[in-house]
Structure 1
Amino acid sequence: MKIDGRSFVISGGASGLGLATARTLISSGASVAILDLNEETGAKAVASLGGAPSAKFFPCDVSFTDSVSSAVSAVTSWIKEIGKPLAGIIPAAGVGAPGLILDKRLNPVSLDSIDFVLNINLRGTLDVTRQFLPLLAKSEPYGPDKERGVVVMVASSAAFEGQMGQVAYAASKGAVASMTLPMARDLARFGIRVVTIAPSMFDSAMTAMMSDKVREGLQKAMEFPARAGQPEEFASLVKQTIENVMLNGVVIRLDGATRMPSKL
């Protein structure tokens, strides 16, 4: 898929992995619709990306379908205005809320905490994707394969080796990994590919909240390189995923051979 002259939608695009991805795509000639919650953060992100027509911010809470619908309508109008057909959907909004399924006082994890994680990481990913897919399916097919575009979802190493306290998070990311192939099969008739990237610990707003002890413990579990991944490294793989038409229906681990232990 050609990136130059196309537009892409990134939820959670105002910081971290999403912002790095937006920067990489814009440097290749794309325009990017940034969906995120905080308007101040979104405005700063767009300014750092060079402003219109390269990037535009659209407020969106992915856990509410009406908010996603409003963003879809606004992005559709913007895409018509700039004349760059939609070529990719990248639902990158994500949260983590650690909690043991049963703590030492025999209290089960709160359902509110579970719902918070699942609503953003899983439901939000599905809702952003499904609501933007009709617009993507209307794009003119490109190249000899008649490709219309690609969906790039974000899982996690926790989908495979969730640690203690990650039941809800692992469930949300495991579900994203599991739905990659059936979604690719559903969308093959439209010339739309689906790929999921499963990163290990990357520098982001989420990992910035970790204590030094937790961060050091995670780094000890890493093989090579023995460090957190950089957002630009994630963005580079997104770019390659968009450009390589043979990548479809697959979950790609981006973890430097890291396999997380059960606890730190």
Structure 2
Amino acid sequence: MDISGQVAIVTGGGSGLGAATARYLASKGAKIGILDFDGAAGAAVASEVGGLSVQVDVGDAAEVEAAIDTIVSQLGAPRVVVNCAGIANAARMVGREGKLAVDLFERVIRVNLIGTFNVMSYATRAMMDLPLLENGERGVIINTSSAAYQDGQVGQAAYSASKGGVASMCLPLARELAQSAVRVMAIAPGLFGTPMMMSLPTEVTDAIIKNVPHPARLGQPDEFGLLVSQIIENPYLNGEVIRLDGATRLPPR
């Protein structure tokens, strides 16, 4: 798919991988619609790229529906959807003094997994009204999993479960949406220089970087945006989860 001129919705577009993706796709000529819980951050990136931002809790289906309707009415129906919105709260299942992490688990699943499904659902419904492109496709959805879905560390049960869900629904939804000529892909990034990663203790980040074979550094958000654009432009990529991690495998801690 030629990215230029297409409407692209990016969730979590106010920071981190989402912001990098919004900027990268805008540089390729896409019209950007940002959905972000942080309204000010989303608006700042949208202003920078000449797009539109809507403040939304992706875990709330009604809010997502209204936000997608707003973007469709002002920019048009999307041919590209990139889900980057997510949280990375961590806690042991049973912590000190028997404290449980049930509430945290539910919150992370709601944002990362249910939020991704919500956006996919309403955006795809709008996408289905679009005519087929010359190459026979209608659109592409790219979701963000994580290397943690396979290499989850201690305290990451909620995060790993949510990202594992994102990875696991990639193939069945690609099969389901094939009849509508919509592709579904997922990217499982490793360690990237985003605000989420920078919130970890320095000693944790330093220790993990030592396990990255090559290049031995944090990923650059633009490299995520580059992969997004490559997936969009390659019509035969469908139903797959791509790890983007410099060949790293996360240690237990």
**Where on the TM-score scale, by shorter chain, does this alignment land: which range?**
over 0.9
Q: Select which of 115, 122, 134 maps to 2:113.
A: 122
Query: Deviations along 1:132-178, whole A, 9 cap, x unmatched?
Result: 1111111111123x100100000000000100000000000001101
- Alpha-carbon distance in 2 for matches of 1:186, 1:250: 14
1:43 aligns with 2:5: no
Aligned partner (choices 52, 60, 65) of residue 61 of structure 2: 65
Contact 2:78–2:123 (CA under 8 A) maintained in structure 1: no
| Match status 1:78 vs 2:52 | no
Corresponding residue of 2:99: 107
Structure 2 CA distance for aligned equivalents of residues 226 and 43 of structure 1: 34
* CA distance in structure 1 between the aligned counterparts of 2:168 and 2:140, rounded to whole angstroms: 17
Return the offset for 1:104. 4.8
Aligned alpha-carbon RMSD (Å): 1.1
**SS at structure 1 position matched to 2:224:** helix
Task: Report the TM-score when normalising by structure 2.
Answer: 0.97
Picking from 122, 144, 160, the partner of 1:154 is 144
Amino acid of the structure 2 residue aligned with 1:162: G
Tell me how many residue pairs correspond in the alignment: 253
Distance 1:141 1:186 in 2: 17
Supply the distance in 1 between the matched residues of 2:164 and 2:141 (Cα, whole angstroms).
17
Gaps in structure 2 of 5+ consecutive residues: none
2:4–2:29 Cα contact (<8 Å) kept:
yes
Aligned match of 1:91? 83
Q: How far apart, in 2, do the equivalents of 1:76 and 1:114 lie?
A: 33
**Mapped partners of 1:99, 1:192: distance in 2:** 37
Letter in 2 for 1:95: I
State percent identity of aligned pairs.
39
| CA distance in structure 2 between the aligned counterparts of 1:77 and 1:30, rounded to whole angstroms | 16
| DSSP-derived class of the 2:183 partner | strand
> Are 2:33 and 2:46, in contact at CA under 8 Å, matched by a contact in 1?
no
Matches within 5 A, 1:104-253: 104-109=96-101, 111-144=102-135, 146-253=136-243
Q: Comparing 196-205 with 39-48, which one deviates more in the overlay?
A: 39-48
Output the CA distance in 2 between the equivalents of 1:40 and 1:260.
33
TM-score normalised according to structure 1 size: 0.93
1:96-122 Cα deviation digits (max 9, x unpaired): 11111122533332x211111101100
CA–CA distance in 1 between the matches of 2:201 and 2:19?
23
- Give the Cα–Cα distance (whole angstroms) in 1 for the partners of residues 60 and 78 of structure 2: 23
Q: CA deviation at 1:47?
A: 2.4
**1:199-227 Cα shifts (integer Å, max 9, x gaps):** 00111121121111111111112111111
Please state whether the residue corresponding to 1:164 is helix, strand or coil: coil
SS at match of 1:105: helix
2:10 paired residue number: 10
Secondary structure at the residue paired with 2:98? coil
Structure 1: where are the runs of 5+ without partners? none
Q: Could you tell which deviates more after superposition, 233-242 or 204-213?
A: 204-213
Q: Partner letter of residue 159 of structure 1?
A: Y
Q: What is the CA–CA distance in structure 1 between the aligned matches of 2:39 and 2:141, rounded to whole Å?
A: 25
